[in-house]
Structure 1
Amino acid sequence: MKTFKFIIIVCSVLMMIHTAVQAQDKLPVIKATSRTVDVMDGDDFRKGVWRILPDKKPDLYYVIIPHKPHRVMFRTDVDSIAFDTQYNGVYDFIILLNNRDSCFTRIVAKENDLLHFTSNRKSEAQKSDTIPITIGSNDKIFISGSINGSAPLNFQFDLGAGGNIIKKGSLDKIKLKFDGKTILINSDGRHEVPTSSKNTLTVGSMRWENNITWVVGDNMDRGEDGLLGNSLFLDKVVELNYDRKIMVIHDTMPEIGKAYTQHGIILDAGVVPFIQASIKVNGILFTDWYMFDTGFSGYLRISSVLYEKHQLNGKVEKAFSLWGTRIVLPGFEVGGKLFSNVKTLVKSRQPNDSPRGLMGNRLLKRFNVLLDNRNGYIYLKPNSLLHAPDRSNTLMPWIVSITLFLIILFAVAWIIRKRKRSRSMV
């Protein structure tokens, strides 16, 4: 009897293996002669972003906005395949590299390593959490929180950050155990830095228990202890209300008035939001994707690639600048509003530069915002800061005056010193 049961089990296992092999044989196949693959994920096209790795079985690709039904296409140098994705869907196919290596690839319409938090809500009917915000002199958003039971820390809320960063100079305030390393890329360059996983973060009534990884960085202003990014809320709706000075984290999209305009987004690396905005020159609109970067204190920045793409040289004025190249755009349109004579930083050309721009919080603070990470939209409503003067325009004359004064002072001191030397020689 035992022998018979054993035979039945063996036969069942063999049938399962046979079925799995048949299923693999039926997977769609596309061919490639290059390891780099273009990916079109909804509205987000990234050239050469995917690299074929035959050793991974399967090699997982997570869609950037999993809750939003949309098409995802992989395009090799000779072939392509597309799937209409739905939340929780899994889509398998094979990339045949050089007619030799079968690369099993899986598209996953689900969040990768979603960070869950608990909240001390008054009742089950409550569907959101509210925390106060402050706007610093650098136009950035600040919130209070603690790590592993520390004293209150001052965090910048940075939608342009791919993860959560703790300032190197604030490490003595927190109990952290470092257990890894990563590469951090920011305006200071590319550096290998230590990381600490399985930490607890508390912000207002929200608590992330033993699931936060901190990356050590030092590219922050005085008084900042760290950066918190959109990775904390990828299945939520983030509301920034500058009029009431609050940030609200909603479980689902709340009812809003008609004063808000709706804009589709892409999430770079599934985290950092971009929306479309337009440069206006001579009545012509040049529309591109711009990072929605609350962590950039400036107004607007474009890449040299974008500047050359729209042939802006000779069409726009150059602006006085002590740091980098600045231009004055006749018009810039975002959120249904047109801003005139916008001073813009042109980023110097970098390897693999992207033809995308970046909007900083000196501009973004003029709108109350709802970022719907679940469904892939941003809603904007002009607020009381819409017509607030651009601080850079106010400060620039002072900066120029002080700089000229220092130059004159230095020149006078140099002349006086030179005359004294001449007299001493006589």
Structure 2
Amino acid sequence: MKQLLQILFLFLTTYGFSQQSLPVIKAASKAATIHEEGQLKRKWNVSPEIKIDAFTTNKLIRPTAIKFKTDIDSIGFILKPGQYKDFIVLLNGKDSCYTRIESPVIKDFRKLKPEIHDTIPLFINSQNTISVKAVLNKIDTLNLNFDSGGTELVLIEETLNNKVKSKLKLYNTPYEVAIGSRVYKTKVYDTKVTGNGTDGLIGWDLFDGMIVELNYDKNIMVIHSRLPKALKRDKAAVKLNMKYFNYRFFTAAQIAHRGTKVNDWFLFDTGYQRTVMLDNDLLREQKFPADQMEVIKKVIMRGTKNNEIPVITSNLESLKIGKHELKNVPAQIMTTSKTMFDANIHILGNEVLKRFNTFMDFQENVVYLQPSHLFNADYIEKT
């Protein structure tokens, strides 16, 4: 007990917390797990060597239940958006691990004066890859895919090895990237493959707290600090709530075939070039008649790690997003058991999403979709 009090006193004087504000839980092993409501269970190793050992949750849009479990003890609490909770894990009765569970800082730029409406040329190629020009570190001009299913800045190995002049430290160091008239800070990661004809990708979180407009009628991407007022008056626009999972956002959609209708959350993924990717295990759980869908073709696709993914493309009678329905959609059915999320999910890709002018509102965490001139365009798989 005396040793424990000495350890607590050290932490209290170092970090300025009162004794009552630092709960203590016990552990006989470094291995722990973090249970975030609505998310996959995450493995964690407690570390007495780190002054503040912090775990960052998904972007929270409401108070969320968190539970931290060691091999012999646990602590649970409700975490609000932008909040953090501190506690001590006492390892083997002697080593104190100062632990923090934190929600990302809330970003909301709607009060900026003057308002921002930064218009950027948007390019889309025949493979449905959308891209914008960007400058990294004021030196390297890059063509980057805006991938709403990705995060931060990711560059392909070929670009890193043969094009980028900047000396980059991957994974941990933030760098400046200029897009349009604004400069953003982000860490840089590497990958093997991104959208066709691009040097890499930028993810949704670069614009957290803003509104991202993708206008396929005018071929522009606009970064707004406030939602355009005219959008709310547009009767053709549908408004969809966002749900965050594994640091990406999902929206609701409905698939239907032979009288069976299924409503589910879909990854909103402008970086996926096809129509809709349906997870075979989920379809079985949902008793969806995938075996009755007409097979169009079978191909091998490649993931961001250049891994082979066997995919069957079959005709889906109906895909409904809000009040807008697309019929006879050539949908891809994933035959592998799980995606990179280590979970079974469905995906909306840009062959569908380009049919809508889109506003991704990362202030209210909603998406607005307006039918674009591509709404009735032929599908690539059928041409």
* TM-score in terms of structure 1 length: 0.70
Identify the residue that residue 308 of structure 2 maps to in structure 1. none
Identify the residue that residue 71 of structure 1 maps to in structure 2. 64
Identify the residue that residue 165 of structure 1 maps to in structure 2. 154
Closer, same or farther: CA 335–231 of 1 in aligned 2, 3 Å:
same
Asked if 1:334 is matched to 2:321, the reply is yes
1:46 aligned to which of 32, 39, 44: 39
Identify the residue that residue 227 of structure 1 maps to in structure 2. 201
Alpha-carbon distance between aligned partners in 1 of 2:34 and 2:138, rounded to the nearest angstrom: 45
1:248 aligned to which of 219, 222, 227: 222
For the Cα contact (< 8 Å) 1:316–1:328, is it kept in 2? Answer: no
Per-residue deviation at 1:298?
Answer: 0.5
For the Cα contact (< 8 Å) 2:120–2:180, is it kept in 1? Answer: yes
Q: Cα deviation per residue 1:121-145 (whole Å; 9 max; x = unaligned)? A: xx94232211111211111212112
Per-residue deviation at 1:48?
Answer: 1.5
Alpha-carbon distance between aligned partners in 2 of 1:339 and 1:346, rounded to the nearest angstrom: 17
For the Cα contact (< 8 Å) 1:72–1:83, is it kept in 2? Answer: yes
Closer, same or farther: CA 37–152 of 1 in aligned 2, 3 Å:
closer
Residues 245-254 or 123-132, more deviating: 123-132
Identify the residue that residue 236 of structure 1 maps to in structure 2. 210
Alpha-carbon distance between aligned partners in 1 of 2:196 and 2:242, rounded to the nearest angstrom: 32
Alpha-carbon distance between aligned partners in 2 of 1:322 and 1:337, rounded to the nearest angstrom: 28
Closer, same or farther: CA 96–382 of 1 in aligned 2, 3 Å:
farther
**Greater helix content:** 1
Alpha-carbon distance between aligned partners in 2 of 1:385 and 1:220, rounded to the nearest angstrom: 23
Identify the residue that residue 306 of structure 2 maps to in structure 1. none
For the Cα contact (< 8 Å) 1:242–1:368, is it kept in 2? Answer: yes
Per-residue deviation at 1:80?
Answer: 7.0
Identify the residue that residue 177 of structure 1 maps to in structure 2. 167
For the Cα contact (< 8 Å) 2:36–2:57, is it kept in 1? Answer: no
Identify the residue that residue 307 of structure 2 maps to in structure 1. none
Identify the residue that residue 268 of structure 2 maps to in structure 1. 292
Asked if 1:22 is matched to 2:19, the reply is yes
Identify the residue that residue 206 of structure 1 maps to in structure 2. 182
Closer, same or farther: CA 79–32 of 1 in aligned 2, 3 Å:
farther
Counterpart mapping for 1:325-364 below 5 A: 325-350=312-337, 353-364=342-353
Identify the residue that residue 241 of structure 2 maps to in structure 1. 264
2:78 aligned to which of 77, 83, 89: 83
Q: Cα deviation per residue 1:180-205 (whole Å; 9 max; x = unaligned)? A: 4x6xxxxxxxxxxxx8x454322221
Identify the residue that residue 276 of structure 1 maps to in structure 2. 252
Per-residue deviation at 1:24?
Answer: 4.3
- Secondary structure of residue in 2 paired with 1:362: helix
* TM-score in terms of structure 2 length: 0.77
How many residues in Structure 1 have an aligned counterpart in Structure 2? 351
Closer, same or farther: CA 63–168 of 1 in aligned 2, 3 Å:
closer
- Secondary structure of residue in 2 paired with 1:363: helix
Can you give the 5+ residue segments of structure 1 that lack an aligned partner in the other structure? 1-12, 118-122, 183-194, 395-426
Closer, same or farther: CA 201–82 of 1 in aligned 2, 3 Å:
same
For the Cα contact (< 8 Å) 2:262–2:288, is it kept in 1? Answer: no
Alpha-carbon distance between aligned partners in 2 of 1:289 and 1:384, rounded to the nearest angstrom: 26
Asked if 1:301 is matched to 2:301, the reply is no
For the Cα contact (< 8 Å) 1:300–1:344, is it kept in 2? Answer: yes
Closer, same or farther: CA 336–99 of 1 in aligned 2, 3 Å:
farther
Q: Larger relative contact order (C-alpha < 8 A, sep ≥ 6)?
A: 2
Max Rg structure: 1
- Secondary structure of residue in 1 paired with 2:41: strand
- Secondary structure of residue in 2 paired with 1:35: strand
For the Cα contact (< 8 Å) 1:305–1:354, is it kept in 2? Answer: no
Per-residue deviation at 1:382?
Answer: 1.8
Closer, same or farther: CA 173–86 of 1 in aligned 2, 3 Å:
closer
For the Cα contact (< 8 Å) 2:34–2:66, is it kept in 1? Answer: no
For the Cα contact (< 8 Å) 1:303–1:354, is it kept in 2? Answer: no
Identify the residue that residue 35 of structure 1 maps to in structure 2. 32
Alpha-carbon distance between aligned partners in 1 of 2:191 and 2:80, rounded to the nearest angstrom: 36
Given residue 103 of structure 2, which amino acid in structure 1 is its aligned partner? A
Alpha-carbon distance between aligned partners in 1 of 2:373 and 2:52, rounded to the nearest angstrom: 51
Alpha-carbon distance between aligned partners in 1 of 2:64 and 2:209, rounded to the nearest angstrom: 20
1:130 aligned to which of 119, 136, 146: 119
For the Cα contact (< 8 Å) 1:38–1:75, is it kept in 2? Answer: yes
Per-residue deviation at 1:328?
Answer: 2.5
Per-residue deviation at 1:86?
Answer: 4.1
Identify the residue that residue 408 of structure 1 maps to in structure 2. none
- Secondary structure of residue in 2 paired with 1:257: helix
Per-residue deviation at 1:292?
Answer: 0.9
Closer, same or farther: CA 313–53 of 1 in aligned 2, 3 Å:
farther
Counterpart mapping for 1:73-152 below 5 A: 73-74=66-67, 81-83=76-78, 85-87=80-82, 89-93=83-87, 105-111=99-105, 124-150=113-139, 152=141
Closer, same or farther: CA 54–388 of 1 in aligned 2, 3 Å:
same
RMSD value, Cα: 3.7
Per-residue deviation at 1:332?
Answer: 1.7
Closer, same or farther: CA 125–54 of 1 in aligned 2, 3 Å:
closer
Can you give the 5+ residue segments of structure 2 that lack an aligned partner in the other structure? 1-8, 300-310
Given residue 229 of structure 1, which amino acid in structure 2 is its aligned partner? G
Per-residue deviation at 1:293?
Answer: 0.9
Closer, same or farther: CA 224–84 of 1 in aligned 2, 3 Å:
closer
Alpha-carbon distance between aligned partners in 1 of 2:239 and 2:27, rounded to the nearest angstrom: 39
Given residue 242 of structure 2, which amino acid in structure 1 is its aligned partner? I
